[in-house]
Amino acid sequence: MQPRSLSTRLLVSVSILLILFFGVTILALDFVFQDLARRAIQDRLEVQVLALLSASEEDSSGGLRPDQLAEPRFDHPGSGLYGEILRNDGLPSWRSKSVIGTGIVFPEVAVGERRFGELQRADGSTVLSLSMGIEWQFRNGVMRPFVYSVAESLDPYYAQLNRLRGRLFGWFGALMILLLAAFAVLLRRLLAPLRRVEHEIEAIEAGDLTELGTGYPRELLGITTNLNALLRSERERLARYRNTLGNLAHSFKTPLAVMRNLLSGQGRELPVARQLDEQVGRMDDIVKYQLRRAAASGGTGLGTAPVDVREALDALRGALLKVYVERRLTCELSVGDGCTFNGDREDLTEIAGNLLDNSFKWARSTVRVTADRVVSPAARRDGLRLVIEDDGPGIPLESRAKVLERGARLDERVSGQGIGLSVVRELVELNGGVIDIDQSALGGARIEVKIAPI
C-alpha cells in the first residue's frame, strides 16, 4: 500500500477539523433556535391566556367563559391551538372546540402558579401548554379559583426546525467544500517547492541532473544546500576511490609480474621457486578479488541514468562469442520491454559478465539468457530478474553454496581464479538482491539473480 501524500494528509486533517467545527456550530445554532422558538411559543401562550382572561364573562352556572374570542382557531378542530377554563371542582367551565377529540388533559395548578410544559395528544403528538391558576371575584363578592390553560401544537415548530437543520447542513456543507477547495489550491501552491524537490531528485536518479536547482524558499534552503553538498562530495569520493584503486592495481601488477619473471628465470623445478610462485599467484588472486570487490558501487545509481539491460547483455554476448568462437556455442537472448538496471553500469557488467563467462566455459552447445522487469506498485523504480542457463554438466546440489564462496572451483582444469561468483554474490547483495542456483531445463546450471524494486 502506497503511503498517502502530505497534501492528502493535510486535507484529511483539515476536513476532520472543519467537520468537528461545523458540527459543534450546527449543534449550538440548533440549541439556540430551539430555545428561542420555545420562548416565542411561551410568549404567545401567555398572550392567549391574557386574551382569554380579558374576554371572560360570568355565566349563570357560576363559571367563566370568553364572550368573544380574539383567536378564531379556538373554534376550529385540528387548528393546533387549544384552550380551557377549569373550575375548582375539576370540571371544565369552558373548552374550545379545537380540544374535542384530541385527548389533551390540562393539569390542575394552584392559584398564582404557572406551569409551562409538554402534553401528549391521543395520537401521540406533542403540544406545548401553559396553565395559570387565578382567583376570580364575582359580582356578588365571591372569590373562586380557576385554571386558565392554553396549548399549541409543536408540529409547525418541528417542521420549521427540520427546515432550519436542512438549510444549516446545506449551507455549512457548501461552505466546507468551498473552504476545502480554497485550501487545496493554497496547499498546492505552498507545496510546489516540495514537488519541485521530488522531481529534481527523480531527475538526478535518472541521470538528467547532477544537483538540485536554486531559488527555493528559505525554509528549504538548508535541505537543498546540504543535499547538493552531499551529492558533490559523494561523486568526488567515488572518483577518488576508484582512481586510488586503479593506481593500487597498477602498482601491484608490476612487482608481481617482475617476481614471476625472476622465478621463471631461476627455474620452477626448484622447490623454493615453486613455493614462491604459488604464493605470488595467491597474492595476485587476492589483489584481484579485493580490487573487484571494493570497486562495487552497490548503490541505486544516484546521479546516473538507468542502464539499458538489452544493450549491456548484447555487448557481453558479442564479446564472449568472439572469445569462445572455437567452441561454436549458441547464445539465446530474451529481454523484456523497458528492462533497465537502476544501478551502476559496472555492477551490471560484472554480474552478467561473470555469470555468462562461467556458462560459456561449461556449456556444451547452448547458453540461454533471460531478463525481465520486477514490478511493485509501491516502488518508485523497477527491479530486475536475470536468468542464465546452459546445457553443461550443471552444479551438484551439495556444491551450490560452496561455489559462491571466494576461491571455490568445482574443476581445477578450467581456467579462472575462483573469485567470479563470490564477487557476483556480493554485488547482488549490495544492490539489494538475491542469487539462486538451480537445475536448468537445458540440463545444466540455472542461475537466477533478482534485484528487488526500490
pLDDT tens digits, one per residue of 36-72? 988 999 999 999 999 999 888 888 788 888 887 778 8
pLDDT tier at 413 (50, 70, 90 boundaries)? very low
Q: pLDDT of 160-174, one tens digit each?
A: 889 998 999 999 999
- Over residues 148-162, the pLDDT tens digits come to 999 999 888 888 889
**Confidence at residue 410, expressed as pLDDT on a 0 to 100 scale:** 46
Q: Which residues contact 368 (CB under 8 A, 6 or more apart)?
A: 331, 332, 334, 387, 388, 389, 390, 440, 442
Q: What is the pLDDT of residue 411?
A: 45
Tell me which of 286 and 238 has the higher pLDDT.
238
320 vs 239, more confident:
320
83 bridge partner residues: 150
Q: What is the per-residue pLDDT across 255-304, written as a single tens digit (0 to 9) for each?
A: 777 776 766 665 555 666 666 766 676 677 666 656 665 555 555 555 56
Provide the pLDDT for residue 250.
Answer: 67
The span from the CA of 242 to the CA of 292, in Å, is: 10
Which DSSP letter does residue 3 get? P
Rounded Cα distance between 98 and 209, Å, is: 87
pLDDT of residue 316: 93
Q: How much is the pLDDT for 3? A: 52
Dump pLDDT digits (tens) for 324-348.
999 899 999 999 998 999 887 888 8
Tell me the average pLDDT across 424-436: 86
Q: What is the mean pLDDT of residues 304-319?
A: 89
Report pLDDT for 76: 87
Contacts with 413 (C-beta within 8 Å, 6 or more apart), sequence order: none
Residues 2-17 have a mean pLDDT of 80
Percent of the chain with pLDDT over 70: 83
The mean per-residue pLDDT over the stretch 306-318 comes to 92
SS3 114: strand
Q: Does residue 305 have a pLDDT over 60?
A: yes
Give the pLDDT band (50/70/90) at residue 232.
confident
Weakest mean pLDDT among 122-131, 357-366, 374-383? 374-383
Q: Which residues are bridge partners to 133 per DSSP? A: 147
Confidence of residue 139 (pLDDT cuts 50, 70, 90): confident
Q: Is the pLDDT of residue 143 over 50?
A: yes
Q: What is the pLDDT confidence band of residue 193, given thresholds at 50, 70 and 90?
A: confident
pLDDT of residue 151: 93
Give the mean pLDDT of the chain: 83
Query: pTM for the full model?
Result: 0.52
Rounded mean pLDDT, 71-84: 88
Burial 66-101 (b: 16+ CB within 10 A, else e): beeeebebbeeeebbbbbbbbbeeeeebbbbebbee
Q: What percent of the chain has a predicted confidence (pLDDT) above 90?
A: 31
Task: Label residue 211 by pLDDT band (50, 70, 90).
Answer: confident
pLDDT mean over 177-186 = 91
Q: What are phi and psi of 28, to 5 degrees?
A: -65, -45
Q: In the prediction, which pLDDT does 315 show?
A: 93
The torsion angles phi and psi of 338, rounded to 5 degrees, stand at: 70, 20
What nine digits make up the cell of 101?
Answer: 377529540
Using CA atoms, how far apart are residues 362 and 444, in angstroms rounded to an integer? 9
Q: Which of 65-69, 122-126, 444-448 has the lowest mean pLDDT?
A: 65-69
Mean pLDDT on 202-225: 83
Residue-level pLDDT at 1? 46
What integer pLDDT is reported at residue 175 of this predicted model?
92
Cα(326)–Cα(39) distance, integer angstroms:
108
Task: List the beta strands (DSSP E) in 257-382.
Answer: 307-308, 330-335, 340-341, 366-374
Q: What is the pLDDT of residue 291?
A: 62
Buried b (16+ CB within 10 A) or exposed e, 29-40: eeeebeeebeee
Least confident of 6-15, 87-96, 163-172, 237-246: 237-246
Model pLDDT, residue 418 = 44
Per-residue pLDDT, 269? 56
| Helix, strand, coil share (%) of the chain residues, nearest 5 | 50, 20, 30
What are the angstrom distances between the C-alpha of 292 and each of 17, 281, 349, 351, 360? 58, 17, 12, 11, 21
